[in-house]
Amino acid sequence: MLVASFLPAVARVLQTLFPDCLWALDPKVAISPTTGSPQIALTFDDGPHPVYTPQLLSILERYQVQASFFWLGACVDRNPTIARAVYEAGHWIGLHGYDHQSFPLLSPSDVQAQLEQTRTSIVQACQIDAGWLRDVRPPNGLFTPNTLRHLRQGGYRPVMWSVVPIDWTCPGPAVVVDRVLRQTKAGSHIVLHDGAYGGRDVAQVVDRLVPTLLAKNFEFVTIAKFWQLKHNQ
């Protein structure tokens, strides 16, 4: 698909224009000082889902990989037990809005309400402190300079991506895996989906993708670690 090959170039341009967002890392800083392994982030949007997320969680546990999940508050409200299981497994949690409305189409107060409502849902499901939930990936990856300004004013950190295999169109696990492998390098920031769109294949994708990347000596780290590394760039 043309869009799949075009998006990485778009991400590189946007990273230059909006450096305060978390995109990819400089490959030179994304090398583990202890193992020498290139570090990457594996992230998932749109969950938690009652079927796809537990399947995914099982695969991540099998390979002992830590990932980062950007949740919709409405999905957390429907699946609080699954949300708690993801958190207790040690994965990083971020916000993706309450019901996937694009932030540029909302007023600043509505965006704030979406994020606060999602925060509340996660706090109640996972029994964690609200201040721990600072990372926000805008739905559909859409934002404006005003969106970013309001996020920063609210104490949030905007998180984007660099490897987007368009898995929500369900082109098949082999296609998604191939797209990710062709784009991934030290500092890559991969986004997949475990929600209603794309989640059908996510466990199969990750079950093929993770061991292949581990065999190439990649080390999976969370978005929290990526922020630490970004400050060293």
Residue numbers annotated as active site: 45, 193
Six-digit token pair at 194? 């475990």
Phi, psi angles (nearest 5°) of residue 64 = 55, 50
User: Is the separation of the CB atoms in 91 and 115 below 8 Å?
Assistant: no
Q: Is the peptide bond before 48 cis (omega within 30 degrees of 0)?
A: yes
Q: How many angstroms separate the CA atoms of 233 and 230, rounded?
A: 5
How many other C-beta atoms lie within 10 A of the C-beta of residue 66? 18
- Nearest Cα to Cα of residue 76 among 89, 86, 65: 86
